[in-house]
Structure 1
Amino acid sequence: MAVDFENEIKHLRTTMGSVREVTDLGRLESQISELETKVSAPDLWDDQEVAQQVTSALSRAKAEHDRVTGMDTRVDDLEALVELGTEENDAETLVEAEKELGRVRRAVEQLEVRTLLNGEYDEREAVVTIRAGAGGVDAADFAEMLMRMYLRWAERHGYPTAVLDTSYAEEAGLKSATFEVKAPYAFGHLAVEAGTHRLVRISPFDNQGRRQTSFAAVEVVPLIESTDSIEIPENDLKIDVFRSSGPGGQSVNTTDSAVRMTHLPTGTVVSMQNEKSQIQNRAAALRVLQSRLLLLKKAEEDAARKEMAGDVKASWGEQMRSYVLHPYQMVKDLRTNHEVGSTSAVLDGEIDDFIEAGIRWKRAREKSEDRA
């Protein structure tokens, strides 16, 4: 069937019109101009923290602007390619135009999803914590599989990551792990991954080769910024220090450099052991604790935010996504019904389609709640 290029391009332009309206290029250009003025100030780097905030904001604003204007250019180029192929009756050019149409359509869809990330903290970097749930050693192994999946996803996009804490299980896998994804909108994208994940497979740890169901919980919180007002009185903190441990409980540090920080009023606990010194681990633990308390504070202010990371139970009946490796191969999101058969690709970090479907589902649900 011949491709209806005219309607396809018309649809792309309509979508890009919505993207431009949401992005507000005029506002973005004014913001870029203001930030460029600040960056050119000779005393900018007298305060390195402020300087980094300004330069990062400028980089994000320019990237957002170029992303939209660059896509407009790609649609224009696609239209020119179609016109050339049609006028010359060149089949090869039209085949190339059809391929480019697919690429542009996909890119516009991704850009449209980005415009849906307009929540208060969506622009933030993310702190992700994965905990093994029900299922014994298989659950610990699954937690490690999920950590690798998210780190691979970040790697595919060129997003820097930093592992803050890993608590290894005795036999295999992880009891828990915490890491940062240091990229704009990391929280907006990964927030929809929060919840209970379920794995069904033939257990490699069962000598009778039986099928095993196991669970792991994923928590995602926005990374705090210096402008966030989360002050924690010293009396509200209990700080314990201990020696870092590696796989199987083996000691990997001869000094008490690992830190466990407990926020007494809420019972929130954060452990850090991946930095080299106790001071660094304390700073990292405080940063993550503040991030979690920030989200708790937001939940108290906004009753509509019902799905808090601390509510994830990681057990049967609570799952939001299933990874089935036996008796068939399928990964299915139980909220959006998006599913794929290539489990190995998903576990290797190809989760963009799940994330995009989750973002659309989340925004549709929020609109429905607003109308109610």
Structure 2
Amino acid sequence: MRPEITQHLEEIDATLTTIEKVMNLDEMAERVRELEQQASDPSLWDDPALAQGVTSELSSVQAKLRKVTELRSRLDDVPVMYELAEEEEDGDTSIVDEEIADLAEAVDSLEVTTMLSGEYDEREAVINIRAGAGGVDAADFAEMLMRMYTRWAEKNGHKVDVYDTSYAEEAGIKSATFVVHGEYMYGQLSVEQGAHRLVRLSPFDNQGRRQTSFAEVEVLPVVETTDHIDVPDADIRVDVYRSSGPGGQSVNTTDSAVRITHVPTGIVVTCQNEKSQIQNKASAMRVLQAKLLERQRQEEKAEMDALGAGGNASWGNQMRSYVLHPYQMVKDLRTNYEVGDPSKVLDGDIDGFLEAGIRWRMAEERGED
């Protein structure tokens, strides 16, 4: 093999070895055996909630273990594949080169996943997007961001459920709430939280002037049954109303949309994606619980910070700029990661920003420069 190929493989091997140590494969294999033993006990299903938890964890641990062992096997096979390719008449190693590139990408992606070790990182994500300053341009930008995240989810095979969309009068949306399903969605997407800024020639300005607009992104972990979030009926007010689509167009002939107000905090959530009032209320309650869980977490963090136990990391307010005029660029203001093709980013190509954000967050938590 060429020296540069050998060096590249050594770098991939070093990263994968570190991942294997962090994940502790022996411990994971032992956990699989324990869970398999529990799952094989017929009495487990006497408690459906416990059984679901056991089978879900078993499937998750097996998948993680299988992924890293398969990567190790593929990496071990590369030298033999390269040798066989070089022995062919044409000596074409392009297929092996592609395999090395795929391996490098997969190992880098897995490395980022091992950084997601927060309490809620493995969970699914609730995303709230709200139009900020900038009038109709801000509403249009909020809708652009919603499309960006849903496109990213689709490209990565993650299902999205839209709970509520409040459309603006002229164009775009005032706000939207949706859930991105899949493991580690909260851990990955939580780095998107903050104010996003768009600079462009406004398509809504008769004189075509440059406009700066803002949209706020909030990312919350989906609440699970094990979370202790008590919401007494006396603390909430439930209003029902008729669902509506863009421009006030009715999408439902019954009062099935639900608005829940948490009286003690003033938090308001709505859901109108289902035709059933009961289903909408259940979805709205899940979002409310997610917001209360985050509020509780932030209060606890503030108390720890006050005691000197917390770090000084702050997401700040404005975290990313999307510039469409007078030049083309999207730049993260925390990590300085930037790309020169906003159209690709707004079409869901945000993996680079997510990875840079996760690495930045880890460095902040470690107190690194």
Shared fold by TM > 0.5? yes
Matches within 5 A, 1:121-140: 121-140=120-139
- Specify the code of the residue in structure 2 equivalent to 1:23: M
CA separation in 2, counterparts of 1:152 and 1:44?
39
Deviations 1:120-156 (A, max 9, x none): 1000111011111111111111111111111111111
1:292 shift after superposition: 1.3
Give 3-state SS (helix, strand or coil) of 2:253's partner: coil
State the alpha-carbon separation in 1 of the partners of residues 313 and 264 from structure 2.
Answer: 21
Q: Which amino acid aligns with 1:186?
A: M
Please say if residues 127 and 217 of structure 2, whose CA atoms lie closer than 8 Å, have aligned partners that are also in contact.
Answer: yes
* Cα deviation 1:32-81 (Å, max 9, x = unaligned): 22222333333555554444333322221111111111111121122222
RMSD (Å) for aligned C-alpha atoms = 2.2
Cα deviation, residue 253, structure 1: 2.3
- CA–CA separation in structure 2 for the residues paired with 1:333 and 1:92: 43
**Partner secondary structure for residue 302 of structure 1:** helix
Specify the code of the residue in structure 2 equivalent to 1:81: M
Distance in 1 between residues matched to 2:121 and 2:261, nearest whole Å: 27
Distance 1:45 1:305, change over 3 A: farther
CA distance in 1, matches of 2:313, 2:216: 13
Question: For the Cα contact (< 8 Å) 2:313–2:365, is it kept in 1?
Answer: no
CA contact (8 A) 1:19 1:112 kept: yes
SS in 2 for 1:162: strand
For 2:298 and 2:262, the matched residues in 1 are separated by 17
Query: Take 1:31 and 1:297, find their aligned partners in 2: how far apart are those partners?
Result: 31
Aligned residue in 2 for 1:192 = 191
Separation (CA, whole Å) in 1 of partners of 2:228 and 2:80: 52
Superposed, 1:10-89 pairs within 5 Å as 10-45=10-45, 47-85=47-85, 88=87
Residue 91 of structure 1 and its aligned partner are, at CA, apart by 6.5
Shift of 1:354: 0.6
Q: Secondary structure at the match of 1:71?
A: helix
Residues 252 and 95 of structure 1, relative CA distance in 2, 3 Å threshold = closer
When normalised by structure 1's length, the TM-score is: 0.91
Verify the 8 A CA contact 2:311 2:365 in the aligned structure 1.
no
Report if aligned partners of 1:260, 1:271 keep a CA contact under 8 Å in 2.
yes
1: distance between equivalents of 2:358 and 2:351? Answer: 10
**Whole-Å Cα distance in 2 between the matches of residues 351 and 248 of structure 1?**
31
In structure 2, give the amino acid aligned to 1:56.
S
- Helix, strand or coil for the counterpart of 2:93? helix
Structure 1 window deviating more from structure 2 (275-284 vs 249-258): it is 249-258
How far the C-alpha of 1:204 sits from its partner, in A, is 1.5
CA distance in 2, matches of 1:296, 1:150: 24
Relative distance call for 1:307 and 1:295 in structure 2 (3 A) is: farther
User: Any idea what SS the aligned residue of 2:283 has?
Assistant: helix
Q: Which moved more, 1:22-31 or 1:144-153?
A: 22-31
Write the distance in 2 (CA, Å) between the matches of 1:106 and 1:293: 37
Distance 1:91 1:103 in 2: 23
Q: Which moved more, 1:42-51 or 1:222-231?
A: 42-51
Tell me if structure 2 keeps the 8 A contact 1:82–1:93. Answer: no
Q: Any idea what the Cα deviations from partners look like across 1:208-254, whole Å, max 9, x if unmatched? A: 21121111111000001101111111222122222212111233223
Aligned to 1:315: none
Give the equivalent residue in structure 2 for 1:172.
Answer: 171
Q: Percent identity?
A: 58
Partner Cα distance (1:255, 1:167) in 2: 18
3-state secondary structure, aligned to 1:227: coil
Amino acid at match of 1:100: E
The CA deviation at 1:263 is 1.6
Conserved 8 A contact 2:313-2:364 = no
Match of 1:274 in 2: 273
Cα gap change, 1:201 to 1:3, in 2 (>3 Å): farther
CA distance in 2 between partners of 1:91 and 1:3 (Å)? 20
Corresponding residue number in structure 2 for 1:285: 284
Q: Secondary structure at the match of 1:217?
A: strand
In 1: Cα distance, 2:332 partner to 2:258 partner: 36
Asked whether the 8 Å contact 1:299–1:305 carries over to 2, the reply is no
CA shift for structure 1 position 261: 1.2
CA distance in 2, matches of 1:204, 1:113: 38
The alpha-carbon deviation at position 284 of structure 1 amounts to 0.8
Structure 2 counterpart of 1:198, one-letter code: R
Q: How many residues align?
A: 361
What SS does structure 2 have at the residue aligned with 1:4?
helix
Instruction: Give the unaligned 5+ runs of structure 1.
Output: 313-317
Counterparts of 2:319 and 2:64, CA distance in 1: 31
